[in-house]
Structure 1
């Protein structure tokens, strides 16, 4: 069974936490990685498919739900040879039964199940998930208790949750007591309240008493909020007088550079961008999601950022980053002109690829994950030819 104590981990992040980012984080020293928040009702209607072309396991929505169009949509993808024993799946849920059904559907391919009780985004909160559960502790604890009893104990997989602190320390400690009593193995604490933004300093003074409560229950604890890198976590440990059993979770800074987990100096952004692009393309990542992440890695003030936003295909991105020197400067005098010429060539190629009946050639057998605009994990419809 996976252990969390003292680990430095990648946070669950919608759009940013897809497979390429997780693998890059692991390769640069992350101990564990979280999936993006996946909503239970979406996940429980998926079918497990082994993708031989990519050596991945894909969870694909193949049956329609009320009000949803039927199609083959990738909801979740993992690469077992690198993520086994290191991947925690985060659920978005407001219902114990649905949470259990979703978790049971994927439990064989993840190291643990985590319940999102801290996301303040509208999609989660207005559906009674995420940070909304902080205001409904009975429901929060009911979901956790069900996951522990029907998933965790049955399959020997730890159940955890991620919360934000409440307005007062006393209220926070009371909540932590109840949460720990459900039988969870681990608690991640974002040391900001639901209404605080990332620019606000975390309430680090809450952490020590929270850790004491967790210790009494045999629950490990991870801090979250403004952690920048492994070196920064080491500094925080000393400043906050944390024991070696307390771990840390990195979000924003890992989104901008997944190599911040390294014990050495993290990559500069040009090197990080190149590495991420190569990894994303090797995993057949959807170009929209790849562009989103490159837009986080490449500083917005750089000309390379402006050029990147004009790209519309993997081929264009590959060409552009091949023209980038180690300082992030473009060595081509007119990259936008070249990109336009590439696009014209691609258009001609697509036109010639039509058959006599005027139909397009069949799409690739590989799945392409669309960028997730919400935690439900929307994915592009595909026609996979994969072995179950």
Structure 2
């Protein structure tokens, strides 16, 4: 008797077999297909499993950000692969008159006046650090640039910040409404601290979109003629907020103008990570690079390419940030602000960290050893203000006590002088009395005569009275 094959066996017998040279993809196979398909050669398996390494078309850099762009974030971004880091906007006038203080323990340099104005770490970031300046005048811009020159690798003029603290003084985006003044500032910096001077600093400028593409291209053309080395275009107009999508219509022309002028061009706006940056750079033929802002604020490891693992989990990034912040004695207020931007808002850890007031509180919450100097662990900004107020009141009290002591001393001396004057006055009165008694002969004669009459027997008292 002949046994017929079962239905399953019949299906297997009639199923087509794909040769190894077939373009059939393992990604499209079902579990059954994969089970009966012939094993692919090792070279084919290697090609399928190993992702292609993307080409690097340009630099990926950290954008200048207020608070988030302080030293700890810059150093961590460099560690994770950022090619260059921009610092937060620092007003030129605030630097003028500062004292430069070196900290051999941390390797940092502080610019201090009434308080900390700016902190850098030349040994770890100088060759890749661009100092961004808020300025409204050529003379103050040059003066500030000369002060900071030894600790940075470039000077950038902020001409795009729309915040009132910058624009009210004619800085930031306000310069886009006064192009001649902006050009004069750049000319002055190039002439006094630029590449052809002993300071040898590349000068750059960061702008926002003008109302039209033509106006944006015209402005970029004028800026490139000042002798600058770098130019960054933030693809938003000054009134636009970060949540609004970046406008990239002017990018191709802007990149071309800068390329022809020999100026390194950077794009800013909605760049999320290293791979996204390379795509934008390639698409618009940018001969420079791309800036990352908001994404780096929430996770500085966004500078790691996907083929190398991509961005790291927030817990690992926060741990690295804390270690970096303590190593450079980053102010607790800034450290807490940055960490809360990295921890997901709905995570329970966010609530715990938001209640922290000192580095020790942060480290306890994250299960880390605190290496931050205890004498500097002053707590949050509010705590620091309270402490500063207490110190001010203590100083005022000390001054009051000192004034009271001086007043008491003055009164004591005044009393002594008064007593001394009274003594001298009494002596003078006695002397005067004696002198007056010596200078009145009639009275003395009468007294002597009266005494003589009283001594004589039967002396005439009447005669004395008569004489008197």
TM-score category of the 2 structures, normalised to the smaller one: 0.7 to 0.9
How far apart, CA to CA, are the structure 2 residues paired with 1:368 and 1:134? 41
Matched, 1:59 2:97: no
Q: Which residue of 2 aligns with 1:246?
A: 288
Aligned counterpart for 2:157 among listed residues 107, 115, 119 = 115
How far apart, CA to CA, are the structure 1 residues paired with 2:124 and 2:235? 30
Higher relative contact order (CA 8 A, sep 6+): 1
Count residues in correspondence. Answer: 319
Q: Which residue of 1 aligns with 2:89?
A: 37
Q: Is the 8 A contact 1:131 1:194 kept in 2?
A: yes
How does the TM-score come out when normalised to structure 2? 0.65
1:266 CA displacement: 1.0
How far apart, CA to CA, are the structure 2 residues paired with 1:367 and 1:7? 37
Q: Is the 8 A contact 2:358 2:380 kept in 1?
A: no
Higher helix share: 2
**Helix, strand or coil: the match of 1:204?**
coil
Matched, 1:157 2:201: yes
Aligned counterpart for 1:102 among listed residues 103, 120, 144 = 144
How far apart, CA to CA, are the structure 1 residues paired with 2:314 and 2:320? 10
User: Which residues in structure 2 correspond to 1:261-300 (within 5 Å)?
Assistant: 261-263=303-305, 264=308, 265-300=310-345
The one-character-per-residue Cα deviations of 1:344-388 (angstroms, maximum 9, x if unpaired) are xxxxxxxxxxxxxxxxxx994x799997xxxxxxxx999xxxxxx
Gaps of 5+ in 2: 1-56, 382-387, 392-468
Aligned counterpart for 2:270 among listed residues 223, 226, 229 = 226
Judged with a 3 Å threshold, the aligned counterparts in structure 2 of structure 1 residues 318 and 198 are, in CA distance, closer, same or farther, namely: same
Judged with a 3 Å threshold, the aligned counterparts in structure 2 of structure 1 residues 370 and 107 are, in CA distance, closer, same or farther, namely: farther
Aligned counterpart for 1:191 among listed residues 235, 238, 246 = 235
1:242 CA displacement: 2.0
The one-character-per-residue Cα deviations of 1:120-171 (angstroms, maximum 9, x if unpaired) are 1110011110011001001100101000001113111100000001110111
Q: Is the 8 A contact 1:163 1:188 kept in 2?
A: yes
Judged with a 3 Å threshold, the aligned counterparts in structure 2 of structure 1 residues 255 and 227 are, in CA distance, closer, same or farther, namely: same
CA RMSD of aligned residues (A): 2.2
**Helix, strand or coil: the match of 1:20?**
helix
Q: Which residue of 2 aligns with 1:317?
A: 362
How far apart, CA to CA, are the structure 2 residues paired with 1:45 and 1:261? 36
How does the TM-score come out when normalised to structure 1? 0.78
**Helix, strand or coil: the match of 1:133?**
helix
How far apart, CA to CA, are the structure 1 residues paired with 2:340 and 2:173? 27
Judged with a 3 Å threshold, the aligned counterparts in structure 2 of structure 1 residues 370 and 127 are, in CA distance, closer, same or farther, namely: farther
How far apart, CA to CA, are the structure 1 residues paired with 2:344 and 2:192? 45
1:210 CA displacement: 0.7
Judged with a 3 Å threshold, the aligned counterparts in structure 2 of structure 1 residues 370 and 248 are, in CA distance, closer, same or farther, namely: farther
The structure with more radius of gyration: 2
Aligned counterpart for 1:14 among listed residues 27, 46, 66 = 66
